[in-house]
Amino acid sequence: MQNNTAISQLIEAGKWVSQKGWVPATGGNFSARTSTGFVVTASGHDKGSLTQAHFLQLDHQGERLAGAVKPSAETQLHLSLYQLIPDAQCVLHTHSVAATVLSQITQEHQLDLTGYEMQKALSGFTSHLETLSIPIFDNDQDIDRLSLLVSDHHLHTPIEHGVLIRGHGLYAVGRNIDEVRRHLEALEFLFSCELERLKIIGIQAGVTK
């Protein structure tokens, strides 16, 4: 994909994601693989009002090719996901309430979901009876160290749809812009359902005490 095409797609995705309320206060970052490497959003810009000037163009090793703006601190994690997942063409990182809270209250290092029909919106799923597992990594300001943890996990359990960073948010991946948008919307719906389910269970447990 050409850089300008990728940037245009991410600008449109940014408007959509912002309208959903998943990237408050200039949070989140987006990227797409291109013929020369990948493009990624710069740090500190409203994702609903992106322009061509808000992107960096990087090579396959993450070295800057173009763009005078400040790179996001999480650019290295985008690069790692592209290196780990050859089919990944796009990464959308969001900061929704549901993803942030669920990643905080889930003590395990993965969030397991089953029984939801919406699981079938994710590539590879054909039944609500299957278990969807999204890995969770502890948040770390050292992105290189965090990227190594993600890489180590991928060696024994390949990452398919995305990862959660504890207390931070979701990185959704896809083979094209349409797939990653579908994965993102499906995962955010599932996270919201699971959070509501846990709230109701907690209320019911309190009532029966």
Give 71-126 pLDDT, tens digit per residue: 888 999 999 999 999 999 999 999 999 999 999 999 999 999 999 999 999 999 99
68 has a pLDDT exceeding 80: no
* Fold classified for 3-208: L-fuculose-1-phosphate Aldolase (3.40.225)
209 pLDDT band, cuts 50/70/90, is low
19 has a pLDDT exceeding 90: yes
Mean pLDDT of the chain: 94
Radius of gyration for the alpha carbons in the chain, expressed in angstroms and rounded: 17
208 pLDDT band, cuts 50/70/90, is low
204 SS3 class: helix
Report domain extents, the chain: 3-208
Q: Is 93 annotated as a binding residue?
A: yes
Q: Which residues pair with 170 in a beta bridge?
A: 94, 164
The Cα 77–Cα 206 span in angstroms is 41
What pTM did the predictor assign? 0.94
Q: Which long-range contacts (CB under 8 A, 24 or more apart) does 68-74 make?
A: 69/42, 69/43, 69/45, 70/42, 70/43, 70/44, 71/40, 71/42, 71/43, 72/29, 72/40, 72/41, 72/42, 72/43, 73/43, 73/141, 73/143, 74/29, 74/143
The CB density around residue 194, as the number of other CB atoms within 10 Å, is 17
